[in-house]
Structure 1
Amino acid sequence: MEGKEEDVKLGANKYGERQPLGTAAQTDKDYKEPPPAPLFEPGELSSWSFYRAGIAEFVATFLFLYITILTVMGVGKSDSKCKSVGIQGIAWAFGGMIFALVYCTAGISGGHINPAVTFGLLLARKLSLTRALFYIIMQCLGAICGAGVVKGFEKSHDFERLNGGANFVNHGYTKGDGLGAEIIGTFVLVYTVFSATDAKRSARDSHVPILAPLPIGFAVFLVHLATIPITGTGINPARSLGAAIIFNRDRAWDDQWIFWVGPFIGAGLAAMYHQIVIRAIPFKTRA
């Protein structure tokens, strides 16, 4: 027993706690804050990696709309919710696809797949304005193509009856309700993105970047469970725009502004909260 106790003491001394607790965890001894991205980086426009990242965002958003809108259509066509995956299945489709696609594209483009996420990261100076605009354009084009393929698979009367999987404020809720749901839902998503991809956390815990897609996908899943009855859950302007363009009916366009204004406000609030309150970056810079 004495020999075993000696081994334990030796192991405890040799392999100390790598992640400090309490106030010690707030120090930056093992971490340097990365410099903010420039608003415009001319060199990006001549780099293949820049265009490769945009293509990755296009393909990821295309696949996202294809799988999720088809799932929405499948649930809507069923004569009984018990014979389909139901609202929970729709939420899993959205969350599961985000998990898979972020995992696949994070190393290429960052795995945004959402203009609101791109906007939030732009406000935090995580990418240049040039790249942000390019990403948003490619995301919207991918969403339009994904929704278009779904329309090609569905019979025209089914597609019309199910509103093309478009987002709008459901009966019984006001536009203010819808706007609030989109703001809070996007805040949850973008705040999770910031927390899961925080470079400071990555520096101290090497497994965090690998696990980052998991909490992001769960955030999307949970937000959908909460807000599908209110707006069908947008929290992604590209998803809402792609479905609205292909469906192209007044009902989708009447509420379209909600699915841009709400997510952008939510993303902006999440970026400010994480950078100012959680990370206190302005105060560190001043110090």
Structure 2
Amino acid sequence: MTLIKKLSAEFIGTFWLVLGGCGSAVIAAGFPNVGIGLLGVSFAFGLTVLTMAYAIGHISGCHLNPAVSIGLWSGGRFPVSELVPYIVVQVAGGLTGAAVLYVIASGQAGFDISAGFATNGYGEHSPGGYSLIAALVCEIVMTFMFLIIILGATDKRAPQGFAPIAIGLGLTLIHLISIPVTNTSVNPARSTGVAILQGDWALSQLWLFWLAPIAGAMLAGVVYRWLGSTKEA
């Protein structure tokens, strides 16, 4: 598979993740008193990954997330030569998804992007008012576990054909746990797209949603290299 086809697939997949996941939060979560709520948003994010994993997993690996690409590189599953191109198109796809979501959401009278645009935050911008330290720990641990799931489910020794289900449900569970803390990132591309559109405080807090997911992903890559090794230690 050529690199341009891989990058195109990653762009489309990340676009879908942001439009589907963040779109469910912005458009459908509370509509209007009978919305899908936290449970629905959690499943929406999981379903975007599950559907894209089956659609483009055989083309690009369906990372859709700079932290996933970095974690797979850390785990010895992804070449460093493709790391930067993957991250660039993932961020571009996330921004495009956020832009399309803005066009749709702003078609409703009274729409106010400053009131929230599925952005990630801590402190006063955390849905539950959680501190910076709580948000940092949460994002590191959740991304660590996400990468352990990905690395394990895609291991050649794992049951074949079921990885997208495990990964999609894993992301759903992560959202069920952490939406109240940070609105759940575990994905710098997802956070960046909506933060750029929202601007203001979302951009000033964006650093955490790059630092923590990347740290958690890199740690998971190292741990799974040891955990999954067949060599005696």
Q: Structure 1 residue runs of 4+, over 4 Å off?
A: none
Quick one: distance in 2 between partners of 1:273 and 1:113? 22
1:21 corresponds to which residue? none
Which of 120, 126, 138 lines up with 1:181 in the alignment?
A: 138
1:74 corresponds to which residue? 27
The equivalences for 1:269-284 within 5 A come to 269-276=219-226, 278-280=227-229
**Pairwise CA distance, 1:247:** 1.4
**Pairwise CA distance, 1:268:** 1.1
3-state SS of 1:270 partner: helix
State the TM-score, normalizing by the size of structure 2: 0.92
Aligned residues: percent identity? 30
1:4 corresponds to which residue? none
Quick one: distance in 1 between partners of 2:95 and 2:70? 20
**Pairwise CA distance, 1:164:** 1.8
The equivalences for 1:126-145 within 5 A come to 126-145=77-96
**Pairwise CA distance, 1:79:** 4.4
Quick one: distance in 2 between partners of 1:79 and 1:101? 29
1:264 corresponds to which residue? 214
1:230 corresponds to which residue? 181
- Per-residue CA deviation, residues 180-211 of structure 1 (Å, 9 max, x unaligned), is 11001101110000000012x15xxxxx2311
Letter in 1 for 2:137: G
Q: Is the 8 A contact 1:115 1:238 kept in 2?
A: yes
1:119 corresponds to which residue? 70
Quick one: distance in 1 between partners of 2:70 and 2:160? 21
**Pairwise CA distance, 1:253:** 1.6
Quick one: distance in 1 between partners of 2:163 and 2:86? 20
Letter in 1 for 2:148: Y
Quick one: distance in 2 between partners of 1:217 and 1:76? 19
Give the structure with higher Rg (CA): 1
1:252 corresponds to which residue? 202
**Pairwise CA distance, 1:76:** 5.1
State the TM-score, normalizing by the size of structure 1: 0.75
Change (3 A) 1:118 1:271: same
3-state SS of 1:164 partner: coil
3-state SS of 2:102 partner: helix
Quick one: distance in 2 between partners of 1:231 and 1:180? 11
Quick one: distance in 2 between partners of 1:280 and 1:69? 37
1:42 corresponds to which residue? none
2:17 corresponds to which residue? 64
Change (3 A) 1:162 1:76: farther
3-state SS of 1:271 partner: helix
Quick one: distance in 1 between partners of 2:54 and 2:145? 19
Letter in 2 for 1:90: V
Task: Tell whether 2:4 aligns with 1:51.
Answer: yes
Unaligned runs of 5+ in 2: none
Q: Is the 8 A contact 1:64 1:94 kept in 2?
A: yes
3-state SS of 1:209 partner: coil
Which of 111, 117, 134 lines up with 1:158 in the alignment?
A: 111
Quick one: distance in 2 between partners of 1:76 and 1:225? 14
Task: Tell whether 2:50 aligns with 1:99.
Answer: yes
